[in-house]
Amino acid sequence: MKKKLVVLTGAGISQESGIRTFRDMGGLWEEYDITEVATPEAWERNPELVMKFYNDRRKQLYECEPNAGHLGLAELENDFDVQIITQNVDDLHERAGSSKVLHLHGELKKVRSTKYEELVYDLEGWELKFGDRCEKGYQLRPHIVWFGEMVPAMEEAVPLVEQADIFVVVGTSLNVYPAAGLLHYTRDDVPLFVVDPERPPVYLRKVTFIEEKAGRGVAILKEKLKKLC
């Protein structure tokens, strides 16, 4: 029986694939005001701007590839029962070969009904347009969790973390809740690893920090995990 390895990832793991992070130097939130592109109020007030923001990011995603960090996590499935829990809305974990990926904040390549949130669709191509409607005739919106909206996937994520034998954090500043709070659902005896060139605020028990970018950091992590198989 393979040990359960749970990995919480954030924008940092996709940075080496060319996808911008949010709060780093040059991050997205340096250029865009969150309240203008990533809230339900923004969608009500200026849907064209919000639609363009996500169309632009979706279009860019088609030009990006998984990096060594994504691939390294996928390879860990040879030795562990790996569950990725990601805050990212890109599909790079899936494209790298990870078989269990839970998206907390939605998925860029999916859209959903503005009226019936359970009506979720894969978007053909990168551009969502006004007039694209769900099967019941309502406008489609990005399938993204905006600030101020509920994070339904937490219901599934918490038990996964509680059952983890090993918990890893890669590439997240742990600024955004409830995602950042998942750390606190780990059992006290569970080894914690953090891969990030900057130390995010983790004050729990003993943590093994790997202060590297994901590409190199995940390779070092794999070496350390060999002893825990």
Using the contact rule CB under 6 A, the part of the chain among 108-116, 133-141, 165-173, 203-211 near ligand APR is 165-173
Q: Mask: binding to ligand APR, 190-229, rule CB under 6 A, as x and -?
A: ------xxx-x------------xx---------------
Taking CB under 6 A as the binding criterion, the range among 9-17, 51-59, 121-129, 203-211 that sits at the site for ligand APR is: 9-17
173 is in an annotated binding site: yes
Say what the alpha-carbon torsion angle 121, 125, 128, 133 is, to the nearest 10 degrees.
-40
11 to 40: interface string for ligand APR, x by CB under 6 A: xxx-xx----xxxx--x-------------
Q: Which stretch binds ligand APR (CB under 6 A): 46-54, 111-119, 168-176, 184-192?
A: 168-176
Nearer to ligand APR, 105 or 143 (CB): 105
Nearest in space to 90 (alpha carbons), one of 173, 4, 21: 21
Q: Which is nearer to ligand APR, 19 or 128 (CB)?
A: 19
Number of residues that bind ligand APR (CB under 6 A): 24
Closest by Cα among 150, 185, 155 to 6? 185
Residue nearest to ligand APR (CB): 12
Which is nearer to ligand APR, 13 or 76 (by Cβ)?
13
Residue pair 61/91 in contact (Cβ under 8 Å)? The answer is yes
Active-site residue identified among 70, 93, 103, 105? 105
- 143 belongs to the catalytic site: no
Q: CB 30: neighbour CB atoms within 10 A?
A: 11
Comparing CB distances to ligand APR, the nearer of 2 and 224 is 224
The CA–CA distances, whole Å, from 86 to 47, 70, 155, 182 equal 26, 11, 14, 11
First to last CA, the chain: 10
Instruction: Give the 3-state secondary structure of residue 213.
Output: coil
Instruction: Find the binding residues for ligand APR in span 76-115 (CB under 6 A).
Output: 87, 105
**Residues contacting 196, CB < 8 A, separation 6+:** 12, 169, 170, 171, 172, 209, 210, 211, 217
Name the amino acid, one letter, at 54: Y
- In angstroms, the CA 95 to CA 17 distance is 12
Q: Is 137 left (phi over 0), alpha (psi -120 to 50) or beta?
A: left
Residues within the annotated binding site?
54, 57, 87-90, 171-173, 214
* Residues in touch with ligand APR (CB under 6 A): 10-13, 15-16, 21-24, 27, 87, 105, 171-173, 175-176, 196-198, 200, 213-214
Residues within the annotated binding site for NAD(+)?
87-90, 171-173, 214
Kindly list the catalytic residues: 105
